[in-house]
Amino acid sequence: MAKQEPEIARSDIEAFRSKHKSVQDWLNKLTRSDETRYHYLRDLVRYCRTVGLNPDELLEERRNDKLHGTHEAEKRLDDFVANAPFPHQAKWRVAFTVKSFFKGNYEDLSKGSGKISFQRQKPIRCPESFEIELMARDAPLRDKVLLKLLRDTGMREASVARLRWSHVWDELFDTRTGSLVWDHVRPVHIRLTSTELKGRYSEVEQHSFLTPETVELLLQYKKFREDKGEKISKESFLFVRDRRKGRRYLPLTRKGIIYVVRDASQRVDKERVYSPHDFRRFAQTVFERARIQPNWVRKLLGRKIRGEEDPYSRPKIDDLRNEFATAIPLITQVKTAEMQSVEIEKLRAELAEFKKDLDWQEEHSRFLFEVLHEANPKVFDKLIDTKGMAPEFQRIVRKIREKKE
């Protein structure tokens, strides 16, 4: 049975990087984000510890293979893939990293070495809206907000862990007084830069939005933290751990977010365990159901637009906000009291406008009927048939005929 991936301290990883020049040379050639490079480095450390060789010894073994026509380095990687007691996904990542390390030092392994099945080990899951509601129903306030933010935005868990109040502050509060200026109806915009995403493409940003329901919960969470004595500023993390460490609350980590989603889904159904990435699938599916343009969906989810269309797709933030608003009924059926109040006022205004139009039609119909009756009463009686006529027009004709009599 595969065991859990061993934890490796960040200090050990940094020491590993600085100790071996071959590792530094390899990392300098990678066009990846700092976070991705860190994960590559961690996987190389894991491989070296498992096989009992350091990076320089791995390269030396590969050079000897070339010199003597042997394949010890490749056999070692094949043996790791076949027998290492790690989860399938972990072995796949490590094999990819090791081959990248050899290639970065001009000692490429053969294409067939370290082959591991790309067949998905777990089924693709996509939660339904009602399942997310069930997951959030009995969750603590912080977890409830987190689940609904993942639902609204489809953010990667690493990006959520970086969120600060500054990402939503200007949309919610007055910049000078700090008082609430949000109207309780407008979807709230969150902009993530490339460094807050995967970071591979410097021009890619994510422009996501929160439903009014989620924003209301977020404001409740802010008050909850303030009531516990925490001072919330623009630079405070959006999500923090439950327990204080010293005088402050540490931010909720990427793993912590994964645990929140896992535990919430297990409370609903132990057989269907969801991950934050499954919420990303939910978000894309909902945006597609709402008929949002594919390129705009990519902007909402923080993906690169493919090919030559990238420089030409430049929607304004309010364009994306309006499109997101069309998807809200598919995201959630919950309406805040403020949203219901606004909808009632809107209906009242529409009814008043309709009555105004009806009064105008009635007044002009009365004028036309009277002119026709005065011009030729016989023709009026012959042409104007009240059968099937609207009640208000029947009353007008009745009054004109009574006046005649």
pLDDT at residue 342, rounded to an integer = 63
Indicate the domain borders of the chain. Answer: 10-104, 129-334, 339-404
Please give the structure tokens belonging to residue 78: 């094949």
Q: Are 205 and 191 in contact, with CB atoms under 8 Å apart?
A: yes
- Give the integer Cα–Cα distance in Å for 321 and 84: 48
Tell me: pLDDT of 78 over 60: yes
Phi and psi angles of residue 36, each rounded to the nearest 5 degrees, phi first: -65, -40
How does pLDDT run across 188-213, given as a tens digit for each residue?
999 998 888 765 566 788 999 999 99
Tell me: pLDDT of 389 over 80: no
Return the CATH architecture of domain 129-334. Orthogonal Bundle (1.10)
Tell me: pLDDT of 344 over 80: no
Tell me: pLDDT of 2 over 50: no
Confidence of residue 106 (pLDDT cuts 50, 70, 90): very high
How does pLDDT run across 358-374, given as a tens digit for each residue?
666 666 666 666 666 66
pLDDT at residue 305, rounded to an integer = 82
- Give the integer Cα–Cα distance in Å for 294 and 284: 10
Phi and psi angles of residue 75, each rounded to the nearest 5 degrees, phi first: -65, -35
How does pLDDT run across 155-187, given as a tens digit for each residue?
999 999 999 999 999 999 998 888 999 988 899
- Give the integer Cα–Cα distance in Å for 372 and 36: 83
Confidence of residue 404 (pLDDT cuts 50, 70, 90): low
pLDDT at residue 84, rounded to an integer = 87
Average pLDDT, the chain: 84
Q: What 3 state SS string does 191-229 have?
A: EECHHHCCCCCCCCCEEEEECHHHHHHHHHHHHHHHHCC
pLDDT at residue 253, rounded to an integer = 92
Confidence of residue 376 (pLDDT cuts 50, 70, 90): low
Tell me: pLDDT of 284 over 60: yes
Task: Give the DSSP letter of residue 4.
Answer: P
Q: Are 135 and 144 in contact, with CB atoms under 8 Å apart?
A: no
**pLDDT > 90 in the chain, percent:** 54
b/e for 272-304, b at 16 or more Cβ within 10 A?
ebbbbebbbbbbbebbeebebeeebbbbbbbbe
Average pLDDT (106-124) is: 77
pLDDT at residue 1, rounded to an integer = 42
Q: Are 105 and 26 in contact, with CB atoms under 8 Å apart?
A: yes
pTM of the complete model beyond 0.75: no
pLDDT at residue 270, rounded to an integer = 84
Tell me: pLDDT of 13 over 50: yes
Tell me: pLDDT of 100 over 90: yes
Confidence of residue 20 (pLDDT cuts 50, 70, 90): very high
Q: Are 58 and 73 in contact, with CB atoms under 8 Å apart?
A: yes
10 Å Cβ neighbour count for 29?
A: 11
How does pLDDT run across 209-264, given as a tens digit for each residue?
999 999 999 999 999 999 998 999 999 999 999 888 878 899 999 999 999 999 99
Q: Helix, strand or coil for residue 250?
A: strand
Confidence of residue 291 (pLDDT cuts 50, 70, 90): very high
